[in-house]
Structure 1
Amino acid sequence: MSQFLKKVVLYLIISALFFALLFTYPLYTYSQQESTDKLFLSAKSAILVEAHTGQILFEKNSNLTCFPASTTKVLTALVAISYEHNLNKIFKVSSKATMIEPGSSSYYLNPGETISFQDLLYAMLLISANDAANVIAENIAGNIPAFVEKMNQYAKSIGAENSHFVNPNGLHSPQHYTTAYDLSLIARQAYQNEILRKIFSTVEYRITTASMHKKPEWQIIYNINKLLRKNSKYYYPYATGIKTGYTAQAKRCLIASAKKDNIELIAVILSSEDAFSDAIKLFNYGFNNFKRVKLFSEHQIVGKVLIDKTNQKWLDGYLKTPVYVLQNVYSPAESDLTYTIDFLKDLKLPIYKDTVIGNVYVYSRGYLISSIPVLSYESYEMQTSKKILQNVKKDLIKGTKLVIEILAVVVLCVFLFTIITIIRFKRKKMKLKLRSTKTIDFTTLQKRKLK
């Protein structure tokens, strides 16, 4: 082979390798410095938040009212596990619980069947079993309406003000709605629960307690979240769960979580044509454009408050632990973070070290994401001269009370003495009268005898 042909072959091999690498690179990538304006999503509504603080990294119509479909089951699980802590507790299946929309997701439980709470949670969250959601609701609250009331109460208690739920499974109803922002609040609460976080991330699970599902093919279930499935084109190596959803009216819905290095994110996608693609785009945007930075360091003094006007004494306030936020590396302004430091009013002396004297409030796009207590850096009591003056005042007050008490006793004694004296005087006077009367009578009698 000539030298020229060798060069041609080598060129072709290098070109082939280049194109092979180019087209086998992960399907979903995101330019690190691309702005959010170019982040095209098929979802009508979406939000990307930091999993622990709720800091908003991206949003698209996040307060738009949408149907949540089976993402509802995240709230169902959260409410259920807050009332029942025994995962091994056996629940009974009623005939009403099995009455679900034909063709909808189900584990095909039978009336009268028994199954553990844990197995029901896995069936509900991995394969989106609507009958499992109903069984959980009935066994926790006695009936489905009572459980739904607890769902709505819980949602309101965590700030999900624009949501209303009418069932525990997410099957369509015009009165069953939420927003991406509200679902992010619910998802963050569920993400903090270790049991639920473990279920969300499980790819394969064996149900063992269902009394009428003893065949092996009935026992193994697989998570339908394609971000977790390695054989799926949507597989995302940083994904950690949470829940899918679909109805004809709601379209594709998804709550997803992912972790890369020291950043944990939650994405909510509603009314989408391709929810998994939308989630991957959001995660790539978050991981590629944000880094974790310290907003405040450990033991950092954040401000001071006047606690003694007379002596013009100011007390430093500090944070005991560091505060971290996510900052947009390429466009810090897009992080849209603000904070305020509010000291408590009318602080009473003495103040001891590490007493809470205020709070730091951190906001993301106007939403409160973190509240951190501000502690006193040192102890402080009034100065000696002032303390002496106060003690003198206290002594004077005590002395005055004592004088009043003594005077009261003296007055009482004088009063009693006066009363006793008067009584004695009257008695003496009476005796004198009696003696005088007897003498006159005796003399008279003597005179009468002489006559």
Structure 2
Amino acid sequence: MYRKSHAVRTFLCLLLTFVFVTVFSTQPLLAASDQKTSVAWPEAPLTNSGAACLMDADTGAILFDANMDEQRYPASITKVMTALLVAENRQPTDTITFGEQAVSESIPGNARIDVQLGETITVEDALHAVLLASANEVCTQLAIDIAGSVEAFADMMNERAAALGCTNTHFTNPNGLPDPNHYTTAHDMALIMQEAIKNETFLRVESDLSYTIQPTNMTAAPRQLQNHHVMLFQDDPTYGYQGAFAGKTGYTDEAHNTLVTAAKRNNVTLICVVLTCDNLDYITDTRSLFDYGFNNFTHYTLKDTKKESLSGTISLPKDAKLKSATYTDPNDAADQETFTRQYFYDGHPIGTAEISVKGGSSADSSSSSVSSSSEEDPTGIVTPEADSSDGFSTGSLSSPLYILIGLNAVAILILIIAVIQRNKKRRRRRKKRRK
């Protein structure tokens, strides 16, 4: 009997040890499995640009990043900000007259339309000269007319950039001529372009691939302008890109080639910025990044829940499961009736939504539905993330812990029953001996 009892105890101890080892060793694997998304972030193409950024203009999602926050010289893509400020502060029918500073400005290359002292043109003409012909002297005169001086206009540019969320940009002039203190990043330029293409005047000017400035008070012949951005010529079989509708080129010896472009396909608008490019890399990289974005991502529109009203759209890989997306709310969201929620997929920010709480605090909400912009019915769930130090989901608190507790309880119960049975047998043996 003693041997049988000892064997039972040994077996139970081994069983308990196996339960502990098995559960503890598999628990991290289960947690990692919970974190793993169903589809990995699409593999991006190789690029040669010194810095690049591909942004979904509709959601703000960054689909590709290569040194996008490194400060670099922008050259003439600076003029996107200049044109935006002009469109926001002047009417197309307003006029400007060129003064000594703009006319006499030393400008390398042919980025000018050769205005004369005292010549007057409309703001409409001026914007076309800036965005199509990259006319530096026109930028200078526009800056003086709007702000009183180039320096004051540069302050306006920097204030506007900061308001758009730019964190590594500083402008000193309206045209992008070389200056050690004149710099930006691919990400910041994408933010600037994202705002510019919301402006109707900017878009209208960009839609003109060619433009004629009629004779002025100082010239008898018209000036013919043509856009320098070859990708905007969609019918060009060599360089044109289907869907490209706005952009600006840039080049200086210091900056090398720079390019910012917006393109739209299937109701998705992407912005690509490439900086510090050699040869034709600024075109080939932009093309390959646009192809990557349009071929691999789509939009999903957030839908209201019983407790929250959601307004926003997110970007997801085309084959991704909606339930794999996660989100984080501001720390004080529980105390707010409205707030901004940030969504993620596979660690990548994919868009935001404005949240309005219908009743109670936002902490009561446990999920939000998402539907594809190409489908009428919701096709999945976006679940809230567990609290973690880095703001990302750490997986479910779930099964591994509960399995451990349950198995331990069963093992302990078996041990208790074994001990009770052993004690009963000992008492019976003692009674028999007494008899």
State the TM-score, normalizing by the size of structure 2. 0.67
CA distance in 2, matches of 1:106, 1:277: 27
How far has the Cα of 1:142 moved from its partner? 1.3
Aligned to 1:82: 88
8 Å Cα contact 1:100/1:130 also seen in 2? no
How far has the Cα of 1:336 moved from its partner? 7.8
Matches within 5 A, 1:207-286: 207-208=213-214, 210-216=216-222, 218=223, 220-229=224-233, 230-231=235-236, 233-273=238-278, 274-286=281-293
Task: Choose from 300, 307, 323 the match for 1:293.
Answer: 300
Q: Which has the higher contact order (CA 8 A, sep 6+)?
A: 2
Structure 1 residues 346 and 373: CA distance shift in structure 2, 3 A: closer
Matches within 5 A, 1:45-60: 45-60=51-66
How far has the Cα of 1:201 moved from its partner? 2.6
Aligned to 1:376: 358
CA distance in 1, matches of 2:44, 2:59: 26
Task: Choose from 306, 316, 338 the match for 1:358.
Answer: 338
Structure 2 counterpart of 1:107, which letter?
Answer: I
Structure 2 counterpart of 1:93, which letter?
Answer: F
How far has the Cα of 1:209 moved from its partner? 6.3
Give the stretch that moved more between structures: 179-188 or 197-206.
197-206
Q: Residue 193 in 1 paired to residue 199 in 2?
A: yes
Q: Deviations over 1:173-228 (max 9, x none)?
A: 11111101111111111011111122223211122364334314x2x211111012
8 Å Cα contact 1:104/1:130 also seen in 2? no
Matches within 5 A, 1:326-345: 326-330=315-319, 338-340=327-329
Structure 2 counterpart of 1:114, which letter?
Answer: T
Structure 1 residues 366 and 100: CA distance shift in structure 2, 3 A: farther
Structure 2: 5+ residue stretches without partners: 1-38, 361-435
8 Å Cα contact 2:339/2:355 also seen in 1? yes
Matches within 5 A, 1:174-185: 174-185=180-191
8 Å Cα contact 1:342/1:358 also seen in 2? no
Q: CA RMSD in A?
A: 2.6
CA distance in 2, matches of 1:269, 1:148: 23
8 Å Cα contact 2:52/2:274 also seen in 1? yes
CA distance in 1, matches of 2:238, 2:66: 25
Query: How many residues are treated as equivalent by the alignment?
Result: 315
3-state SS, counterpart of residue 133 of structure 1? helix
Q: Deviations over 1:78-97 (max 9, x none)?
A: 1222222x211110101211
How far has the Cα of 1:372 moved from its partner? 0.4
CA distance in 2, matches of 1:80, 1:148: 12
CA distance in 2, matches of 1:225, 1:241: 9
8 Å Cα contact 1:47/1:62 also seen in 2? yes
State the TM-score, normalizing by the size of structure 1. 0.65
Aligned to 1:124: 130
How far has the Cα of 1:73 moved from its partner? 0.3
Q: Residue 112 in 1 paired to residue 112 in 2?
A: no
How far has the Cα of 1:132 moved from its partner? 1.1
8 Å Cα contact 1:341/1:358 also seen in 2? no
8 Å Cα contact 2:308/2:355 also seen in 1? no
